[in-house]
Amino acid sequence: MTTEVRSLREFKMPDVGEGLTEAEILSWYVKPGDTVTDGQVVCEVETAKAAVELPIPFNGVVEKLHFPEGATVDVGTVIISVAVAGEAGAAAPAAPAAAPAQVPAPAPAEEPEPERREVLVGYGPRTGGSQRRARRTTTTTVAATRPAPAAVVAPAPAPAPAAPAPVAEVPVGERPLAKPPVRKLAKDLGVDLRAVTPTGRDGVITREDVHAYAAAQAAPAAPVVAAVAETAVAEPAAPQAPVSAAGDVRVPIKGVRKATAQAMVASAFTAPHVTEFVQVDVTRTMKFVRRLKESGELGRDVRVSPLLIVAKALLTAIKRHPGINAQWDEAAQEIVLKGQVNLGIAAATPRGLIVPNIKDAGSRTLSGLATSLGELVETARQGKTSPADMQGGTITITNVGVFGVDTGTPILNPGEAAILAFGAVRELPWVHKGKVVPRQVTTLALSFDHRLVDGELGSKVLADVAALLERPKRLITWG
């Protein structure tokens, strides 16, 4: 005789496999007591790149939701527990008295059994225990050997470089946890990351950690004693909460905003930006757009806009100057000339700025480009852009003109060599055929990474885009 028993299975926040470490739970689609089936969507989460619906990989009854909506959860943390049915023979339930004897065994916590690895897109087998190294909370040598008041007057204080002691923080053969920009900073400053004590989450070394270590190494011995005294005074103030003036509102930095901030800081302080500007008469381009709309040549449901012609002009300029479609590989010390153009379009969404891209945009016809551009914009507005759509971009256009802005100095999307800003189209006095007449004029701005794009190359690309917009017929002869 078999008896049906129920056991709990836990569903953890999946790993998208793209370096993301956390996600915010936007909404739950189930509640305790609900029955769920394999593949059923149980919640929607927002990562740093997109909103994603999570399906559960087994059947059962929801026992507990571990986090409320709006909570930010680390990848690998249990978010929902489900009671699943099983056989008595398989479960082999022991007598109640026998259970306590086996509970204290710590082995399962150290060596978890292999299980299916949940990812945001489907499921797959666990390939290895890519476990984060737990952050060690150690007391620094300076704090441990704080001298008595009389020792401050002593003529021979302890040597200053007490910081190298944390070298033992990282076991031999294990690589310190740090992001690429932090590794580059450490390399530039001559800092061995193994000697740096991490203060970031999960033992990750931050830029501040590197700067603090470098400053400590450069400081003379005497100030170390003063630093000890300052630390002793400053420590009690640490728990104080930040003070806000009346009317201030504090908004948590998370999701797309957090990812955007990190990307922009990394780009601005890694790639030396140069921005060039040009004003151009786009009267003929605007007439061309109106004719395409009226004729329906590109399709009745295809959205035609000036941005479409700007995109085509940039793609044509890249064909003439492929060096602009490149990437700087710091680790390999190489410039990577990209084989195809993945054209990013900066899009403002309710969740923040995202930059999805059109894959292999350079091979598309004007009609195909218009269709892809329309789909990209609509998907972004609906908040349905997938992480894959925002990966692999090689060059970007930002249409600041829709906000009535003439131009700007756009910051490069990390990993790209250039970004083009398309400003507002305005009717301005312009010299045309020897006379000052009203013409439709816009301003273009091209920012580029001066490590791999020289001023000559950047200028030629920008000049070509301007020339194509001034006379769009050139799209045929130059394409």
Catalytic residues: 450
Return left, alpha or beta for 282; rule: phi > 0 is left, psi -120 to 50 is alpha, else beta. Answer: alpha
Alpha-carbon distance 282 to 289, whole Å?
A: 11
Please give the sequence-ordered ranges of beta strands (E in DSSP) within 234-374, or none if there are none: 273-281, 326-329, 334-337, 343-345, 347-349, 352-354, 357-358
Give the HSE-up count for residue 288: Cα atoms under 13 Å, Cβ half-sphere: 19
Runs of H (alpha helix) within 3-116: 88-91, 99-102, 107-110
Alpha-carbon distance 479 to 474, whole Å?
A: 8
Contact in structure between 309 and 472 (CB atoms under 8 Å)? yes
Nearest to 55 by CA among 74, 71, 37: 37
Rg (CA), the chain: 29
DSSP 136: P
Contact in structure between 433 and 283 (CB atoms under 8 Å)? no
Nearest to 194 by CA among 221, 162, 223, 167: 167
Q: Which two tokens stand for residue 138?
A: 């150690």
Amino acid at 441: V
